[in-house]
Structures are given as structure tokens and as C-alpha cells.
Amino acid sequence: MATLFLSKPSSLLPFLILFLSLSPSLSKKSTFIVHMSHSHKPNAFASTHDWYSSILRSLSTTPEETQHDILYTYSKSAAGFAAHISPALAAKLRRHPSVLSVIPDQIVKPVITQSTSFMGLSDWSGIWPNTDWASDIVIGVVDSGIWPESTSFHDGGLSEVPASWRGICEAGPDFPAISCNKKLIGARSFYKGYEAIYGTLTEIKSARDLSGHGTHCASTAAGSAVANAGYYRYAVGKARGVATKARIAAYKVLWARGSGASLADILAAMDQAIEDGVHVLSMSIALNQTVDYYIDTTTIGAFRAMQNGVVVVAGAGNAGPDSFSVRNIAPWMLSVGASTIDREFPADVILGNGQVFRGSSLFNFKQTTTNTMMLVTGESSGSRFCRQGELHGSRVFGKMVLCESGGTSGVAKSYAVQQAGGLGMILINQATDGEQLMAFPFIIPASTVTYTAGNLIKNYMSSTANPTARIMFRGTVTGPSPSAPRVAAFSSRGPNLITPEILKPDVIAPGVNILAAWTGALGPSGLSFDTRRVSYNIISGTSMACPHVSGLAALLRKAYPSWSPAAIKSAIMTTAYNLDNSGNNITDLATGMEATVYARGSGHIDPNKALNPGLVYDLDTSDYIAFLCSIGYDYRKIALYVQDASMIDCRAKNFSSPGELNYPSFSAVFESTNDVVRYTRVVKNVGSSVNAVYQVSINAPPSLRINVNPTRLVFNANRKTLSYTITFASTSGIIIPAVGAIASGSIEWSDGSHRVRSPIAAYWKPGSTRGNFAASM
């Protein structure tokens, strides 16, 4: 049976990272992903499929075992196949000498324009005109498919499809081949793994998006410019993707209206995307729990994509503000957290005593304010969480209801209030949401308020015989107040649970209340009772932050076609900023305090600065192999990743710690206050001046001593690449609490025109070991 895990209460986000953990019985067939050693393949077999089939037949000794189905064969994203077989046959496969790994399939679920303006993108200067808006770069979006009729996918002004493109527009009953054009140049669907788990799909098997998630992500990354786009009267303006002229290839893996995807299908989509010729992979999906790298097959597919020059960008997850909740943590993936932009949709709650509380709403108002109504709580009316069918109509009829988050979505609560005869609603956020106010497309006049405001409203109600309230809708408000960006409370946080020496997330990007294209098959709330249909929708999540960075990666790929994925990632990370638009350090909506390095990573992306980073920290396959060696992986595990097994030699490049990887950020983990952590980094001058001199500046917290040697890097025509050593040690007299301690700082290299910044995270864990790192936090 499959067990469903909610990573956040469903009232938080219209789309959350939800997951299924599969526990197949010994008698029931399940899907397994089998990684093979291709050096063992006998020449007698014409194809790998024939070889795999032969192995399955040779191991099948019972009638049940002979009933096996190969769903996919992988050659680009991995080496092996996915098959629907019995657990007993899977156990035999694990013992076969040609088999490196057998991993049970799992179900993965999803994790949006003022945002381009907020990021400083301009038609007249900077990265857009200097890269021709990423023309001819292809972004592969692995998601819930696409709504091809959206105006965001028009191809006006685009040149012909790039000659290097090898993909197709896969036709279906509801997706004719003419659905593709010079913008949407490829569309495919992958469902065999999903069907093997749940049975035959009831929806049409095509790349058409029935949930909206994939359409939203694709248009955010590379949507064409559309004038006067908006959600009803909210956020009206020119909508466009970050890489406006990039091409889109949609790979549908999320089924049941975007509710889940099989790992086997995801790996097959990545395999095909690499073969088709994408330059960037945008993946707003993640596993529920953090698992070791070799178990998460998407990290294997991402590694193979990196080897083929593809930049893989993924959402960091929506499980914040908990520590150790960050997902997609492999160092060859670019992990993106979510932050706000300088646009809000205020809906103020005004109480009968004159108190005003800031709220947020996307209710399609006809007037700026509601009438004043009697105010009752959901708790006193039958349901604290305002669940449908539990509210007493006699209590709520004609009134405004105060509902608490949890159990169902905010929109579902507004529908429940409406069905019970209520005329308005105030939704109280959870305490962990802090100051976060996301806007929801409520069915009736309603507003979301903070947990603190909710308690004050309760106090008013308990002290007043006949409490009343009204809501004033203020539409779309942009500007410097409140400050932006701020880290979203839902955005997943570090430290990195598997390799804490690698700081994650890497960066933050716009992911709160983002406008982008939507499906025509589902209402803006994504709920079955919602009969509204919109062309553009406003939603939130790291799913929305991810395609912003995917678009930026496409712009940089266009500017620097010879750069490695690591160099592009470095440019994005080292040019990120950490001050908001008021000049103060970026804050965290969950706490109201300064955001930690585990929440913001390197900081908020700055596309124009990324175009000219000055220095880059580069990496190749051999570096990542050394990283895998440093975490104790043996030949069999490393062979899952590399295309050429002859490259595997843990003696060739020996890292004393995973932190030795030439990463653009630093994470020092201390076993005790006497520890000294030392890393070496190599930087390459990619600036316009061959003769450049960079001086380092150090921002060290009081608890940490940081030494950099040398402090000056002098580049010339013969010295384009230089190294430096950085050493971390505790300051004298530091006292570590029983739960450990964290600190953050940074170093910055500058030649007067470039500022190459690397964040530093430090963690002390007295008496603990790597195995109980999380427990000591």
C-alpha cells in the first residue's frame, strides 16, 4: 500500500511537495529502477534491451517471476532500465554481477510579472539585450505538461527551431502536433511507471497540462511577452519569462491532475531530454525525505545531464521553516529557495473597534470593501478549521467567520463557509508562517492574516458582546514597503543532511505570489468545485522560484556557450546579493529576523551581475567523483553516476573532506572547538581584463577565525587560474551550547569592478558524529 505524507498543511500552498512512500508486499509486483554495468554486456546481444530481457528470463524461476515488463531503458540519464517485477526477482537482480543497484520506484509530487522587473531585467540594457533574451537556448521543463494554447507560448518574432534540436512534438487525442511551434518546440509524456503503481490512467496520455503547475513553471522560465496579462484585476501588466526568447520542451511526468510522478518516469524524461538536446533542465519536484545520493535516482540523472553540459535547476522544497528540510542537495544541482518581490495584494481587516490588521487576498472584488458583518469563530460554529459540512449554518449564516489554518486549503475553507451561508472569512496563518502573507483566490470575500493578528482578533471577539468586521481590498500594491526580498517561511532550509560541508540551498529567487500562465482545464485554486477559468494565475512555492533561475541559466548559456554547468552556477551564486531594497540584510518571514545562511544560501539572484562575474569556481566530472569518494562511496556506487567507468579512481584526486569540492560557498563543520577546517579553492579569471588583481575582504562572525592565503590574486595572460586556501577555527573562549552552535560570514574578492562573494556557514557539534548530525542541531 502507498502512504501519503503531507510536508505542510494544505492551507499553506496551492501546490505543496507531497509524497508517497512505497512498501510493496513480497507477492505483489512493483516497479524497480535497475542500474547496470555496461562493461559487462556481451557482444552477442544486439541491444541493451535484449540483454536486460535475457537477464530477467534467466533469473525467473517461478510463474510470477516470468511475468515481468521492462518499462524504460536508460542510456543518457543513467545506464539501466525500469521494470515491473516481483520483489523476489528484484532480490535476485541485486545479486547479479552486472547489476550495480536496484532501487524501488517512488512517487514524487510538485514543490510563479513583476518578478522580472524586480530582478532588474530591462529591454534596453543588461543581460537581456546582451544575450538576445536567450534565443535558441532550450529549457526542458520536467513537470505536469503544458497548455499549448496559452498566449505565453506564442512564437511571434522567433527564428526557426534550432538545427541542433532533436526532439519531437508527441501528438495525442487532445494534443495535435500543431500544438508545437517555434516557442514550444517539444512535448512528450511519460506514464509507464505511474501506471505500474496505480493502474491504467483515466486521463488522456499526452503532454497536455491538466493541473496548471507545468504551464506556470514553463512560462516563468521562458514565456513570450504578453501585454495586459493578469489575474482578474490583480497584477495586470506585461507578463514574460526570464529567458523570453528561449525555446521550451515540455516533459510531462506528473499525473492525476499533477498529483504525482514516478521516479522511473522522471528518469525516462531526463534521459529523453538529454538526447533531445536541451541546455537547461527545470525541475520543480523533489523527494519527501532526504536520502543518500545513490538512492535518489534524480541525482543520478542530474549527474549524467551535467556530464552532457546540461544545467539542472531544482526547487529546494516547501518544508520550511524547519532545519534540515532542504531537498535536491547534490552539489551538481542548483537548489533554489523562495523569496518575495516588491508586490503585494493587501486586504485589510477592519474590526468594529477601529483596529486594522494587514491581510492578503486574491478575491475577485467588485467593490473595494465589504459591508460590516457580525464576526464569529469557526470553533464556536462547529469547526475550528472550517471544514466543509462541519459548520453550523445557524451560527454562520450572513456572517464573517474566523477560520484557522490546517487540514484543508484556504480556498476550500472559504467554500465551506459559503456553503454554510457565511458571507465572508478571515483566515489565520499558522505560527510557523511568521509574517508571511500569501494571497489565495478565495470563493467569497476573505483575507489571510498573520498568527499574531489572529490572536488579537480573538481577543477583541472575547471582549466584545457583538464583534463585527469588514475587509477592505486594496488591489495590487508595489513599492519599497514592506521591504523585499524576504525569505518565504515555507522555503526549505539547510543544513544539508547528507553532506553538511556543502551549503544548501544555493540561492533564493522570486517564489511568493508569482503571476504566470495557467491551464484551461482547472480553476485557479486547483480544486474540483472551482468552476472559474483564468489564463493567468498567482501562486507560490519553490516550484515558482526554480524556473526563475532556470531562465537565468539559459541566458548565461547563451552568453557563454563553452562554460560548464558549474561555471554558470558559480556566476549565479557569487553575484547574488544579501541586502533588501531598504538597504538592510534580507530578513526571514518565519522569524522577522535576519535570514540565516541556511535559509538564503548565497543570496538573491542578480541576473545582470551574473553576466559579468569576474571569477568563477569551475568543476568537472573528476571533481565530483572525488567528492563521491570523500563521502565513502565505493566503485559500484560511483559507477551509477559516470558514463565512463574508467574514470573512477579514488586515488587520483583525494579530498580529505567533501568540503574540499571547489564549490562557490563554504560550510565548515566542527567536531569540537579545537578543530581546524581548511579548504583549497581554485578560481578562474573570466573578466574582460586579462591582467586583473583581486583583493580579499573577510566578514567573520565573533565565534570564528577566518584566514585566507594569499589575500591577493594577480592574474595575467599566463596565470588565468589561481588557487587560495581558507582556514576556519573557533575563537578563543567560545562556549558551545548543548544543542550546538551556528555562525555565518563571508569572503569577497574584488578587483574594483567585480565583487565575487562566497557565503560561509559554520556549525559546531560537540560530542556528535556525522551520523547524528541532524539530532545535534
Q: Is a pLDDT exceeding 70 seen at residue 9?
A: no
Residues sharing a CB contact under 8 Å with residue 628, sequence separation 6 or more, in sequence order: 293, 637, 638, 641
pLDDT at 260: 84
Compute the average pLDDT of residues 242-260: 91
Confidence of residue 195 (pLDDT cuts 50, 70, 90): very high
**Nearest residue to 272 (alpha-carbon basis) of 567, 486, 75, 10:** 75
Which has the minimum average pLDDT: 306-310, 365-369, 485-489, 577-581? Answer: 365-369
ω before 759 within 30° of 0 (cis)? no
Question: How much of the chain, in percent, has pLDDT values that exceed 90?
Answer: 77
Question: Count of CB atoms within 10 A of residue 466's CB?
Answer: 8
- Show the cell assigned to 93: 537482480
Q: Is a pLDDT exceeding 60 seen at residue 8?
A: no
**Nearest residue to 416 (alpha-carbon basis) of 445, 394, 443, 439:** 443
Confidence of residue 735 (pLDDT cuts 50, 70, 90): low
pLDDT at 775: 33
pLDDT at 769: 39
pLDDT at 23: 35
- Show the cell assigned to 384: 475550528
Confidence of residue 766 (pLDDT cuts 50, 70, 90): low
In contact, 30 and 24? CB cutoff 8 Å: yes
Could you report the per-residue pLDDT of 19-61, keeping only the tens digit for each? Answer: 333 333 334 788 999 999 888 888 889 899 999 999 999 898 8
Compute the average pLDDT of residues 114-140: 89
In contact, 32 and 78? CB cutoff 8 Å: no
- Show the cell assigned to 26: 513480497
In contact, 224 and 183? CB cutoff 8 Å: yes
Q: Is a pLDDT exceeding 70 seen at residue 248?
A: yes
User: How far is the C-alpha of 773 from the C-alpha of 777, rounded, in Å?
Assistant: 7
Host H or E run for residue 328: none
Q: Is a pLDDT exceeding 80 seen at residue 127?
A: yes
Compute the average pLDDT of residues 360-388: 94
Could you report the per-residue pLDDT of 79-95, keeping only the tens digit for each? Answer: 899 999 989 999 999 99
Could you report the per-residue pLDDT of 540-565, keeping only the tens digit for each? Answer: 999 999 999 999 999 999 999 999 99
Q: Is a pLDDT exceeding 60 seen at residue 776?
A: no
Q: Is a pLDDT exceeding 80 seen at residue 523?
A: yes
Could you report the per-residue pLDDT of 568-610, keeping only the tens digit for each? Answer: 999 999 999 999 999 999 999 999 999 999 999 999 999 999 9
User: How far is the C-alpha of 361 from the C-alpha of 338, rounded, in Å?
Assistant: 20
DSSP secondary structure, 411-428, as one string: HHHHHHHHHTT--EEEEE
Q: Is a pLDDT exceeding 90 seen at residue 654?
A: no
Residues sharing a CB contact under 8 Å with residue 125, sequence separation 6 or more, in sequence order: none
User: How far is the C-alpha of 26 from the C-alpha of 744, rounded, in Å?
Assistant: 49
Q: Is a pLDDT exceeding 50 seen at residue 768?
A: no
Cα angle value 316/184/82 (rounded, 5°): 55
pLDDT at 41: 87
Residues sharing a CB contact under 8 Å with residue 91, sequence separation 6 or more, in sequence order: none
- Residue located via cell numbers 495586470: 236
DSSP code for 429: P
Residues sharing a CB contact under 8 Å with residue 123, sequence separation 6 or more, in sequence order: 129
Average pLDDT, the chain: 90
Confidence of residue 106 (pLDDT cuts 50, 70, 90): confident
Compute the average pLDDT of residues 163-190: 96
Could you report the per-residue pLDDT of 494-512, keeping only the tens digit for each? Answer: 999 999 999 999 999 999 9
Confidence of residue 777 (pLDDT cuts 50, 70, 90): very low
Q: Is a pLDDT exceeding 60 seen at residue 15?
A: no
In contact, 415 and 388? CB cutoff 8 Å: yes
pLDDT at 368: 87
- Show the cell assigned to 676: 581546524
3-state secondary structure of 249: strand
Q: In Å, how far are 327, 493, 596, 630, 657 from 601, measured between CA atoms?
A: 13, 9, 8, 23, 20
Q: Is a pLDDT exceeding 70 seen at residue 726?
A: yes
Q: Which residues are catalytic?
A: 143, 213, 543
Compute the average pLDDT of residues 429-439: 91
DSSP code for 716: B
Q: Where are the alpha helices (DSSP H) in 519-668?
A: 542-559, 565-574, 597-600, 607-610, 621-630, 635-638
